[in-house]
Amino acid sequence: MQRYFVNHRAKDDSFKIEGDDRHHIIKVMRMQIGDEIICVDKDGKQAVCRLAEITDETVVADVVQWKEGNSELPISITIASGLPKGDKLEWIIQKGTELGAHQFLPFSAARSVVKWDEKKAAKKIERWQKIAKEAAEQSHRSKVPEIISPMSFHAMLEKSKDFQYKLAAYEEESREGESSNFSSSLKQMQPGDSILLVFGPEGGLADEEVQKLKSNGFVLCGLGPRILRTETAPLYTLAAISYHFELLR
């Protein structure tokens, strides 16, 4: 059943759908009065709804039954990615959303080839947020991850003070066979905790950045014996966290 995140309730027992989602329902899915969809409100509450009214501007869907259950990871994960080349960040956002990430925080790293253009910022963030929304709908999540506006490495360090756990993937740790820091951190975490995971761009984190991360309370961790690409490492980490908190238990 098609799922839509809806910010506005028409009333307690119905949803008002506008914009791109209205277009998708009518023009793409070609739905009609009586067809059913799943609506998710801004608090993550989900309901099976039946289309009751279609106008030139809105679709009204009446609640048939509220749904129980929660598909969100029990911990809040923020993926901080050093700005990579091409469309790699879009891939990280799409697949990372499917795997349960709560937020994405791009930052300008010393080895980032891509330089953040403030003039194009609004359109970029809007596109990334749309990718996250569509991925959240596809994977039947109850919340859409937030895309934080790209920031400097220093600003990311300041932001890290908001998190209970802070890990940075460092390829030198992987080369040395170190993997216990990641595992031991997961064993310490409890449902409701927050974690910031930092990944470098192509070429990895610079030595100076690594030292600053350590001095700001980050734990450096390896991700197994193989060196992973910048777009692969966050997905590996999310999958491992999902296994630890959802499947293993």
For the segment 82-129, what is each residue's pLDDT rounded down to a tens digit?
Answer: 999 999 999 999 999 999 999 999 999 999 988 887 877 889 999 999
> Do 18 and 40 reside in the same domain of the chain?
yes
> Do 108 and 46 reside in the same domain of the chain?
no
Average per-residue pLDDT in the chain?
Answer: 91
Tell me if 158 sits within 8 A of 211, measured CB to CB. Answer: no
Residue 160 DSSP symbol: G
What is the CATH number for 176? 3.40.1280.10
What is the CATH number for 31? 2.40.240.20
Residues of the chain with pLDDT under 70: 173-179
Tell me if 128 sits within 8 A of 147, measured CB to CB. Answer: yes
- At which residue do the structure tokens 């700001």 appear? 216
> Do 231 and 155 reside in the same domain of the chain?
yes
> Do 163 and 226 reside in the same domain of the chain?
yes
Residue 32, classified by CB atoms within 10 Å of its CB into exposed (0-12), middle (13-18) or buried (19+), is exposed
Q: pLDDT value at position 5? A: 94
Q: pLDDT value at position 248? A: 81
Please say which residue of 67, 91, 116 terminates a domain. Answer: 67
Q: pLDDT value at position 175? A: 53
Tell me if 75 sits within 8 A of 34, measured CB to CB. Answer: no
> Do 179 and 218 reside in the same domain of the chain?
yes
Please say which residue of 67, 99, 122 terminates a domain. Answer: 67
Between the two ends of the chain, the Cα-to-Cα distance in Å is 29
> Do 111 and 213 reside in the same domain of the chain?
yes
> Do 171 and 107 reside in the same domain of the chain?
yes
> Do 120 and 142 reside in the same domain of the chain?
yes
Q: pLDDT value at position 110? A: 93
For residue 198, list its beta bridge partners: 80, 168
Residue 25 DSSP symbol: I
Please say which residue of 50, 67, 84 terminates a domain. Answer: 67
Domain span including residue 11 = 3-67
Q: pLDDT value at position 9? A: 78
Q: pLDDT value at position 25? A: 95
Q: What is the pTM of this model?
A: 0.90
Q: How far is the C-alpha of 71 from the C-alpha of 100, rounded, in Å?
A: 9
